[in-house]
Amino acid sequence: MTKITDNMRKYSSKVVDGVESAPARAMLRAVGFTDDDFNKPQIGIASTWANVTPCNMHINKLAEEAGKGADAAGGKSVIFNTITISDGIANGTEGMKYSLVSREVIADSIETVVGCEGFDGLVAVGGCDKNMPGCLIGMARLNRPAIFVYGGTIKPGANHTDIVSVFEAVGQHAKKEIDLIQLKQVEDTAIPGPGSCGGMYTANTMASAIEALGMSLPGSSAQEASSADKSADCFRAGQQVLELLARDIKPSDIMTRKAFENSIRVIITLGGSTNGVLHLLAMAHAMNVELTLNDFIEIGKTTPVLADLRPSGQYMMSELVAIGGIQPLMKRLLNAGLLHGDTLTVTGKTLAENLSQVPDYPAGQDIIRPFDNPIKKDSHLVILHGNLSPTGAVAKITGKEGLRFEGTARVYHSEEEALTGIMNGEVIAGDVVVIRYEGPKGGPGMREMLSPTSAIIGKGLGKDVALITDGRFSGGSHGFVVGHITPEAFDGGTIALVEDGDKIIIDAETRTLFLDVSDDILTDRRNRWKQPEPRYTRGVLAKYAKLVSSASEGAVTDK
């Protein structure tokens, strides 16, 4: 048990100490506080539990374990809920516009509850994609001792399937490669239980990024959801937050510029999601750490892709868990001089100290490649500039798709229109599918284009068709895809001026995205362009559209 001192009750003492706080104590007695509890540091346990999605269906039990750990270490835990949504369920529908918005709602709600109730420390347990950056943004704003716990990855489905297998099976059915019975077999068996989507998609990307950042306990990102290791991880996190309180170690001590550089390195080596770019920018903004798209360019030049993980590779996160997770990878990176070993972590030790006793991967494994045999010698997260993306776009190019694509624009004004066009055979080899008015403001909400990209793959066009958008992509998307195009179409970006038949050139080696149309023609089109009416005028989506910044700045709402 951690030795409890008065300076560990910096916030709760203002709520429960003194005669004038009798009403507050009376309320807390009703929820289970005793006299002794009022002298303990209060630890908020932010749970993202919901039956909305398998990613979060088990998190109530994990939050309880974190609470037990905090109580055992001498604190008083208080569990509270915040929301989650499911990208996997909402993808391809209007509901997906709420996905990125939920990141801000989660951050706002954690800040609101912890700030209001006077919790001294915080443990947050998250599963689905937006939970993780949402929790970290909330922690950064509050800057109180805090630890994030990942809810864990799902087990593989039958025949090594996962949620992306189902999306791609829809495309295979449209191509008449499989029948309805085969499609239903994939649907019925791909999601076997609790946990976040099983490849190096956005959830596992962000869990790994946060561990590399130092805000999770070592190993937290690489554990199965339904495992004893995950329960123990939660209990230890509850205990450790008391140690952080005793030493007054706050997120600002951990989430430094060097730590973000470590995080970027790790997600590149893992072949992580493009959403990692968006979320790390937002997390750094919340912590007042300067981070830009140019940092991804510079770090990416010297960082190889080493992990053969889905969606572009063959292995799943559960298989990486079985050989040791990301800790041996980080030790390899540290030994190669690619990580800052002096960054502080939630263990109270530096990254180098945490990694000092970590063994290497077992001999014979081929999930993580050696440095002299990378999947790609530099980053797959390619930041593109050019007349189509003056302030930047983000491509996910592993090299398997090729490094250059030149094609003819086929333009759609929404994800639904594009999906219909792909499924009906409008999109053919040599096309560059352009999906616009799906940016943070124009959507609003910057939907993921998983349904169109999966349909393209399912129809066998993955190497023959490119897709560009001012929206974003699921971590499960693969193929020759470019998202986060800025300025977005709603703001009058060049993507709003593209017409069917225009030539578009995407070059990952020169990092350019170019519309091959003369300046005079573009000027004429711009003079004729009119900003469309907002799609929503009231409610959370309307508020989000008014507040949100560019994707090149992390799509934050408190710029």
Binding-site entries for [2Fe-2S] cluster: 55
Torsion of CA 479, 319, 206, 550, to 10 degrees: 0
User: Would you tell me how many other CB atoms lie within 10 Å of the CB of residue 314?
Assistant: 12
In angstroms, rounded to a whole number, what is the distance separating the alpha carbons of residues 524 and 539? Answer: 36
User: Of all residues in the chain, what percent are helix, strand and coil, respectively (each to 5)?
Assistant: 40, 15, 45
Asked if 536 and 545 count as a contact pair (C-beta separation under 8 A), the reply is yes
DSSP 224: B
Q: Is 288 exposed, middle or buried (0-12, 13-18, 19+ CB in 10 A)?
A: exposed
- Which residue in 12, 165, 196, 474 is the catalytic one? 474
Helix axis angle for 59-72 and 228-247, nearest 10°, is: 40
Q: Look up 474 and say whether it is catalytic.
A: yes
Using CA atoms, how far apart are residues 80 and 559, in angstroms rounded to an integer? Answer: 28
Strand pairing category for 389-396 and 404-412: unpaired
**Distance in angstroms (rounded) separating the CA atoms of residues 114 and 117:** 5
Beta strand segments in 277-371, E: none
Q: Residues annotated in the binding site, as ranges?
A: 55, 87, 129-130, 448
Distances (CA, A) of 204 to 159, 246, 552: 21, 31, 22
Instruction: Spell out a b/e string for 359-369, using b for 16 or more CB atoms within 10 Å of the CB, else e.
Output: eebeeebebbb
Identify the burial level of 189 via C-beta atoms within 10 angstroms of its C-beta, where 0-12 means exposed, 13-18 middle and 19 or more buried: middle
Q: How far apart are CA 446 and CA 440, in angstroms?
A: 4
- Cα separation, 326 vs 496, in Å, equals 41
Can you state the angle between helices 257-269 and 327-335, rounded to 10 degrees?
A: 110
Please enumerate, by residue number, every residue annotated as part of a binding site for Mg(2+).
87, 129-130, 448
Token readout for 207 is 């869990």
Q: What is the set of active-site residues?
A: 474
